[in-house]
Amino acid sequence: MSSIIQLLPDHVANQIAAGEVVQRPASVVKELLENSVDAGSTEIKLIVKDAGKTLIQVIDNGKGMSVTDARLCFERHATSKIRHAEDLFALHTKGFRGEALASIAAIAHVELKTRQEQDELGTHLVIEGSKFTSQDVAVLPRGTSFAVKNLFFNIPARRNFLKSDTVEFRHVIDEFERVAMAHHNIGFILYHNGSEMFNLPAGNQRQRIVNIFGGRTNEKLVPVKESTEIVEITGFVTKPEFAKKNKGEQFFFVNDRFIKSGYLHHAVMAAYEGLLKDGCQPGYYLYLDVPPNTIDINIHPTKTEIKFDDEHALYAILRSTIKHSLGQFNIAPVLDFDRDANLDTPYSYEGKEASIPMVEVDRNYNPFAAEDPVKSAASRSFSSSSSFSGVPAFKKDRQPSWESLYIVTSPAQEEIAEINFESEEVTGSLFNDSEVEQAVYKTYQIHKKYIVSPIKSGMVIIDQKRAHQRVLYEQFLKNITVQHAASQQLLFPLVLHYNQQELAIITDTKEALENTGFVFAEINNDHIVVNGLPVNVAESEVSILLEELLNDLQQEVPDSSFSQTDSIAKSMARSLAVKTGTQLTEKEQETMVNALFACKEPDVSPFNKPTFITISVEDLDKRFAI
């Protein structure tokens, strides 16, 4: 019987390895940027076209490669980082397995230009699908230029699985930001389709964070610093009042390498215990420096997960360090038993003796005696003379005699005594007046959550939150589709600050948002200016609404215009719907019922949850049957 097992050809093995290393254009960006960092570069440029599908080029001014190294770097398991197995536990660089460049060359057209400082001429290599097509000597600047073109050109199935340019570019920005934040002493520049997206000069940690996430980030940061034998912690956390509902700006760096760790994230959340609102997440940018022999970074192909030797000690140190920083900068409440400034004696009272209070009583006062003008005057003079220095005189106004309580006042006197109160007008309502007038049926609200409405066969119990979500969802979806919605103009424009990634999402969804009623006067590099709002959106709700919308769009990552429109309508409906615990008037309840059953799909909310249940009279009779 012939043997079944055979060795794979090199080009097939490289394509299989590429499936683990290169998942999307952002994976190539990560590997090339880390190689440039390892080369000792001080300036790195990233040039991207069509979100990396057409071109990914990284240009650095590092030490470059010789002719031999330029050929060997594309071989599998060829690396300059390790020589022995023990070197895996003493790594100070990014890549070390020697698979990245070989995998990239197997699925793309690669062009490499490199020159070392001591050489007069450099090397120019061209590779297509792991095959060297040309190698020339060229006049080049010091450093390396690595261009990857037509990614997945020989694997069309993998290319078809790529998302839209908008989504893929978001992932590219994520990888770019992570590498740039880990190496603040290196200058980074990002170009996309000929436009400069980021220009980050070399600086300190705070400057790099502010340059990436916008100038308003500076006021949110609380510095964190601690040094122990186990770990050295530096970085920043955000103040509790700036917490968001998404996990966007949360970064852990271990030995200048971005990682994801749910265990360390729990330590940060424990430090914020009692300071955050429900469902909110703090932002943090934490840099941990640990001995290389105490971690294992070779447990995941992307090297974003790390195994620590002593996780419990690291958890306790991180939690206490953040808690100390929040208390040190008066962010969290602290107990101080030294002294209370409110108990200090003022300087003006120093050396003075305390005055002894005195009480004097009018022994001749009789509340039942008839009103005597002479005695009344004497009583008033006694009351005024009874006050002395430092102690106020307590006096009670003389009340009329008890017979006056039974005197019937005339209507004229009642009109004089009438008091008019200023009425408080209701400026806003949950529903339009025209809709309220159409309400017919009697409804009831239970526990500020459910609306009960009688029908011929029994009764309907409606969840007010889900019902309102369905009503608003279809309303927003109609406005976006028809491209016509009413808008209320603001007297003073709103200026809202966002980072580059959030601004990119707002730019992509600008047309859909304008169809719901938003009016954008300006979308700048770090802020937007809003001139108009949808009719049912209050000015105080704009920042919360857009924050939740950005969070939903980042989580769901819609690919097509239809799904993007659907996501916007769902997010706005969820943010603006009446919340559980809101008291509704009888007219608002009836209007809610009528609006729900006027929808195309009243049975379910936009999130496929039931909006109402029906209980028939027969069901009630069964419950009462004995």
Q: What is the three-state SS of 571-615?
A: HHHHHHCCCCCCCCCHHHHHHHHHHHHCCCCCCECCCCCECEEEE
580: left (phi over 0), alpha (psi -120 to 50) or beta: beta
Q: DSSP labels for 301-323?
A: TT----EES-HHHHHHHHHHHHH
CA-based radius of gyration for the chain = 36
Q: What is the pLDDT of residue 429?
A: 54
Q: What is the pLDDT of residue 289?
A: 92
pLDDT at 334 over 70: no
pLDDT at 237 over 90: yes
- Helix 205-213, helix 165-182: angle, nearest 10: 170
Tokens 């029908």 label which residue? 455
DSSP state of 88: G
pLDDT at 60 over 60: yes
Q: What is the pLDDT of residue 147?
A: 94
Q: Are 551 and 244 in contact, with CB atoms under 8 Å apart?
A: yes
Q: What is the pLDDT of residue 390?
A: 46
pTM attached to this predicted model = 0.69
307-308 and 284-289 beta bridge pairing: unpaired
Helix boundaries (H) for 146-234: 156-160, 165-182, 205-213
pLDDT at 426 over 60: no
Q: What is the pLDDT of residue 339?
A: 54
Query: pLDDT band at residue 465, thresholds of 50, 70 and 90?
Result: very high
Q: What is the pLDDT of residue 286?
A: 95
Q: Classify burial at 161, counting beta carbons within 10 Å of its beta carbon; exposed 0-12, middle 13-18, buried 19 or more.
A: exposed
Beta bridge partners of 144: 60, 114
Q: What is the pLDDT of residue 515?
A: 85
pLDDT at 132 over 60: yes
More confidently predicted of 372 and 141: 141
284-289 and 250-254 beta bridge pairing: parallel
Q: Are 129 and 18 in contact, with CB atoms under 8 Å apart?
A: no
3-state secondary structure of 290: coil
Mean pLDDT score, 369-374: 58
Mean pLDDT score, 256-266: 90
Q: Are 148 and 56 in contact, with CB atoms under 8 Å apart?
A: yes
Sheet holding 487-497, edge to edge: 487-497, 527-534, 519-523
Query: pLDDT band at residue 338, thresholds of 50, 70 and 90?
Result: low
Residues 6+ away with beta carbon under 8 Å from 350: none
Mean pLDDT score, 479-486: 77
Find the angle CA(551)-CA(175)-CA(33) to the nearest 5 degrees. Answer: 170
Mean pLDDT score, 352-372: 77
Q: What is the pLDDT of residue 386?
A: 45
pLDDT at 304 over 70: yes
Query: pLDDT band at residue 437, thresholds of 50, 70 and 90?
Result: very low
Write down the mean pLDDT value for the chain. 80
Rounded percentage of the chain residues whose pLDDT exceeds 90: 27
171-185, 224-238, 274-288, 366-380: segment of lowest average pLDDT:
366-380
Domains of the chain plus CATH, in order, are 10-200 (3.30.565.10), 205-328 (3.30.230.10), 433-614 (3.30.1370.100)
43-49 and 187-192 beta bridge pairing: parallel
Query: pLDDT band at residue 400, thresholds of 50, 70 and 90?
Result: low
pLDDT at 67 over 80: yes
Q: What is the pLDDT of residue 102?
A: 83
Distance CA 259, CA 252 (A): 6
Q: What is the pLDDT of residue 389?
A: 45
Distance CA 349, CA 370 (A): 47
Mean pLDDT score, 601-606: 90
**What are the tens digits of pLDDT across the range 204-226?**
999 999 999 887 888 889 999 99
Mean pLDDT score, 163-186: 90
Mean pLDDT score, 541-563: 73
**What are the tens digits of pLDDT across the range 515-546?**
888 888 888 877 889 988 888 788 888 888 88
pLDDT at 371 over 90: no
Cβ–Cβ contacts within 10 Å for residue 621, how many? 9
DSSP state of 36: H
Q: What is the pLDDT of residue 148?
A: 93
Q: What is the pLDDT of residue 238?
A: 92
Mean pLDDT: which of 109-113, 274-278, 406-410, 500-504 is highest?
A: 109-113
**What are the tens digits of pLDDT across the range 107-123?**
899 999 999 999 999 99
Q: Are 208 and 184 in contact, with CB atoms under 8 Å apart?
A: yes
346-350, 594-598, 600-604: segment of lowest average pLDDT:
346-350
Q: DSSP labels for 230-249?
A: S-EEEEEEE-GGG-BSS--S
Mean pLDDT score, 177-198: 92
Q: Are 604 and 467 in contact, with CB atoms under 8 Å apart?
A: no
Q: Token pair of 332, please?
A: 């969290």
pLDDT at 592 over 80: yes
**What are the tens digits of pLDDT across the range 493-519?**
888 888 777 888 888 888 888 888 888
> Taking the C-alpha atoms of 384, 386, 388 and 391 in order, what is their torsion angle to the nearest 10 degrees?
-100
Cβ–Cβ contacts within 10 Å for residue 352, how many? 9
pLDDT at 85 over 80: no
Mean pLDDT score, 101-105: 86
